[in-house]
Amino acid sequence: MLQQKKQPSNSSAAVLILHPSYFRSMSFSSTLLEQAVNEFSKLPGIGKKTALRLVLHLIKQPAEETQFFADTLARMRKDIKFCTKCCNVSDTEVCNICSNISRKKQIVCVVENIRDVIAIESTQQFNGLYHVLGGVISPLDGVGPDQLTIEALLHRIKADEVEELIFALNPNIQGDTTLFYISKKLKDQPIKITTIARGIAFGGELEYADELTLARSLQNRQPVASYVSMK
């Protein structure tokens, strides 16, 4: 089952690789090991091979470190909450972004998931609040408006007198469907609705951009003065 891989001549290190068939029918000498590998391999992007490597790493760690790792996961799963205002993950009923008095509560950025909040926060360019939808409308995947936090958003807009809604959704059919659905619901309310700019990515090259992206970049062109002031 174990094979010796021939290394390039400039490398003296011999690397043992496992034949792919080994992973299709992994036979374990320990049921505990097998169960751990099976659990790790349920994680997104983790195959059996990676799961085995992670589990073997944990076996080599001091027992108390592995225990702390397991306790952290269990505590995170048990105690984590969702902010009652923006639906972001939180340790408390209201997250530290919503409870920060220096942030502008009248501007709300609508995002698909928690990863988007982290990405926007990392830019340090946004000082409003967020609303996490928990997904986007996607009939093909069986996701309708009722499965998202749209009602909570509509309620919040009224209750908190939100003045501007910035949509920061992925530029695809599902993102646009969600944007149009929520905009329609708000058509009679005095609220400014915007979306983040769409176009050529910074560092991208025009000749490799598709027609739609290039067309949107032209439509959403910026005065050079405002572009320079962002740098």
Where along the sequence are the contacts to Zn ion (CB under 5 A)?
Answer: 83, 85-86, 88, 95, 98
Looking at the Cβ atoms of 86 and 168, the one nearer to Zn ion is 86
- Min dist CB 80 to Zn ion, Å, is 13
End-to-end CA distance of the chain: 56
Locus of tokens 């590998």: 37
Looking at the Cβ atoms of 134 and 171, the one nearer to Zn ion is 134
- Min dist CB 131 to Zn ion, Å, is 9
CA distance 229 to 231: 6
Looking at the Cβ atoms of 160 and 164, the one nearer to Zn ion is 160
Looking at the Cβ atoms of 22 and 126, the one nearer to Zn ion is 126
Other Cβ atoms closer than 10 A to 46: 15
- Min dist CB 201 to Zn ion, Å, is 29
- Min dist CB 64 to Zn ion, Å, is 35
87 Rama class: left (phi>0) / alpha (psi -120 to 50) / beta: left
Looking at the Cβ atoms of 85 and 156, the one nearer to Zn ion is 85
b/e code 177-193 from CB counts within 10 Å (16+ = b): bbbeebeeeeeeeebee
Exposed (0-12), middle (13-18) or buried (19+): which is 114, by Cβ within 10 Å?
Answer: middle
Of the candidates 124, 126, 137, the one whose C-alpha atom is nearest the C-alpha of residue 180 is 137
Looking at the Cβ atoms of 83 and 108, the one nearer to Zn ion is 83
Exposed (0-12), middle (13-18) or buried (19+): which is 167, by Cβ within 10 Å?
Answer: buried
- Please enumerate in sequence order all residues whose Cβ is within 8 A of that of 182, keeping only pairs 6 or more positions apart, or say none: 110, 150, 153, 154, 165, 167
Helix (H, G, I), strand (E, B) or coil at 144: coil
- Min dist CB 91 to Zn ion, Å, is 11
- Min dist CB 169 to Zn ion, Å, is 18
